[in-house]
Structure 1
Amino acid sequence: MSAPLRLVLFDVDGTLVDSQGSIVHAMTTSFQAASVPVPTREVILSIVGLSLPHAIARLVPDQTSSVQNDLVEGYKEAYHAHRLDLGAASSPLYPGAREAIEALHAVPEVLLGVATGKSQRGLDALIEVHGLERYFVTRQVADHHPSKPHPSMVQAALAETGVEPDCAVMVGDTSYDMDMAAAAGVRGIGVAWGYHDRSALTSATCMIETFDQLPTALAGIWN
């Protein structure tokens, strides 16, 4: 009897790539252009993972919708320009990320996907610059779904791949990732190197400190 299909979904920012420099730069540029006080680095990183309009609304709830929209558009422009300037260096892969992706991809019954607050344009550009085009069979982005922690992204990935929830895992660095997984009936693996303190990842099934601990974590969940 063949093994059941498995699905490993990855968050992107703070999980696969360290994009905090680009995120903070783009937020700072956008807020300065709109003459709005710039949030601290810690506050900016606390909203990473949310879809951009939700992130901006959480950062400046007292601003008008017009100002919030200006901040969203300003962020997009600044982030895109920064990515063009720096290429892959704007969002480097975390140590062990590529090796983990390649090892899982080599297992016939394991499918890989991403569920991210990034836009389609942003995700496609990142995947291309790192040469990861062939690995992810499902790519869920903010353009097509409610913001995390709504379960829509995970539900769509399950539907696209035909994988049952108990055979799927979400790997991420924020409470939004873990809460999204729980809402979709999927186990969550929290990573300790991202943008939320591990104490915030209360919905995680388990935590890993480095990517080389991922196979053991997956085995513990599935076996």
Structure 2
Amino acid sequence: MKLVLFDVDGTLVDSQNIIVAAQQVAFAAHGLEAPSRERSLSIVGLSLIEAFTMLAGPHAPVESLTQSYKDAFATLRLDPAHAEPLFPGALDCLDWLSKREDVILGIATGKTRRGVAHLLERHEWHGVFSTIQTADDAPSKPHPAMIQQAMAEVGVEPHETLMIGDSSFDMAMARAAGVLPVGVSWGFQPVTALNEAGAHHIVDSYAELGTILTGFLRSPSQAANPAPMSLS
């Protein structure tokens, strides 16, 4: 069995617009200047307390900013203008992997349990992921605890595990846990940041990711497994 872990924001879900908008509301509520869009997205992947500490500084009202952000995010989510679409190919990739008998799927995200629950409900993904690690369950990325807990939960070793993400935090977390780090170029951080953080592969599409995953999953004992992923 192989464990394939996915980050959420910037990897599976294009949530950049709602993240930036919710940050702007939170900063405005505290009379603070909101960070630039680039700066706002640079911290995606961290747990919220760590993210707002980086954005506003340790002396800012970080806990209050975090709560304002959560409240704004929940409100904006009701507005169709702030939809969080899946990236092209994400659904096909998860469908392909979920049908394989040699794969365990998991999530490792800076989102809260509540945020992940909304995602699972919206996309009818209940039962797809065997392990879900969130900001409520472990120290913030790039600490390796999320991956370590996921591996322990499903009973796989580091050499049997691959982490897919769009941020330097994902790549550093994967390396710290001793698993294969795979970066995606369509997320919220530049490819140079992923390279510097130790990405073993960086892919430009889910079709390309399918090729990487096929190689990772292939072994003599898996010769009879389903064919490689094909995306339209």
TM-score, with structure 1 as normaliser: 0.93
Task: Report the counterpart of residue 143 of structure 2 in structure 1.
Answer: 150
SS in 1 for 2:215: helix
Residue among 178, 182, 192 paired with 2:175: 182
Task: Report the counterpart of residue 210 of structure 1 in structure 2.
Answer: 205
SS in 2 for 1:38: coil
CA distance, structure 2, for counterparts of residue 62 and residue 50 of structure 1: 15
Task: Report the counterpart of residue 170 of structure 1 in structure 2.
Answer: 163
Residue among 37, 44, 49 paired with 1:41: 37
Output one character per residue of 1:28-54: Cα deviation in whole Å (capped at 9) or x when no partner: 000001101110000000000000000
Answering whether residue 7 of structure 2 is matched by residue 11 of structure 1, we say yes
The amino acid across from 1:55 in the alignment is A
Q: Structure 1 unaligned runs (5+)?
A: none
Task: Report the counterpart of residue 52 of structure 2 in structure 1.
Answer: 56
CA distance, structure 2, for counterparts of residue 126 and residue 186 of structure 1: 25
Task: Report the counterpart of residue 85 of structure 1 in structure 2.
Answer: 79
Percent identity reads 46
CA distance, structure 2, for counterparts of residue 167 and residue 69 of structure 1: 38
**Per-residue deviation at 1:62?**
5.2
**Per-residue deviation at 1:127?**
1.5
Answering whether residue 21 of structure 2 is matched by residue 25 of structure 1, we say yes
Number of matched residues?
Answer: 216
TM-score, with structure 2 as normaliser: 0.90
Task: Report the counterpart of residue 215 of structure 2 in structure 1.
Answer: 220
CA distance, structure 2, for counterparts of residue 212 and residue 108 of structure 1: 20
Output one character per residue of 1:68-119: Cα deviation in whole Å (capped at 9) or x when no partner: 11110000000011113339x6211000000000001111010100000000
Q: Map residues 189-200 of structure 1 onto 2, 5 A cutoff.
A: 189-200=182-193
Task: Report the counterpart of residue 116 of structure 1 in structure 2.
Answer: 109
Q: Structure 2 unaligned runs (5+)?
A: 219-232
Task: Report the counterpart of residue 94 of structure 1 in structure 2.
Answer: 87
Task: Report the counterpart of residue 141 of structure 1 in structure 2.
Answer: 134
Answering whether residue 122 of structure 2 is matched by residue 129 of structure 1, we say yes
SS in 2 for 1:14: coil
The amino acid across from 2:32 in the alignment is V
**Per-residue deviation at 1:182?**
0.4
CA distance, structure 2, for counterparts of residue 145 and residue 86 of structure 1: 32
CA distance, structure 1, for counterparts of residue 216 and residue 98 of structure 2: 18
